[in-house]
Amino acid sequence: MTIFYGFLIIITVCCDYMDNCALGTRKEKIKKMTLLEGQKGNFYRVVQVRERESVQRRLEALGILEGTKLEILNHKKNGSTIIKVRGTRWAMGRKIAGGIEVEECSDE
């Protein structure tokens, strides 16, 4: 029983340093940011939407939910952000773009 307990402690410590414990491979830490912080022309994956429930439902209806891949097309001077999701271009204000947490992903 003591050996099993020690094993659990090792697994817990490993999980703090690895993104994927099941595979046991070390991955680079992926930088998470909001859409406002993203760079024009890069591809991102939505990690989390931190907005009011009504805004979350609207974004889901437009196809912008956790796991969705998108491209930032432009950041306008007035604060709006233009993105491309599943072949469709969408514009959103600074407040909503600031509530969408994303991580970089490949353009495949």
Taking residues 47-64, what's their average pLDDT?
93
What's residue 58's pLDDT? 94
Cα 25 to Cα 74: distance, rounded to the nearest angstrom: 36
Taking residues 3-12, what's their average pLDDT?
40
Cα 34 to Cα 11: distance, rounded to the nearest angstrom: 31
Taking residues 30-55, what's their average pLDDT?
92
Domain with CATH 2.30.30.90 in the chain: 31-104
Residue 52: both structure tokens together: 């009011």
Taking residues 81-88, what's their average pLDDT?
95
Q: Indicate the CATH number for domain 31-104.
A: 2.30.30.90
User: Sorting pLDDT into bands at 50, 70 and 90, what band is 106?
Assistant: confident
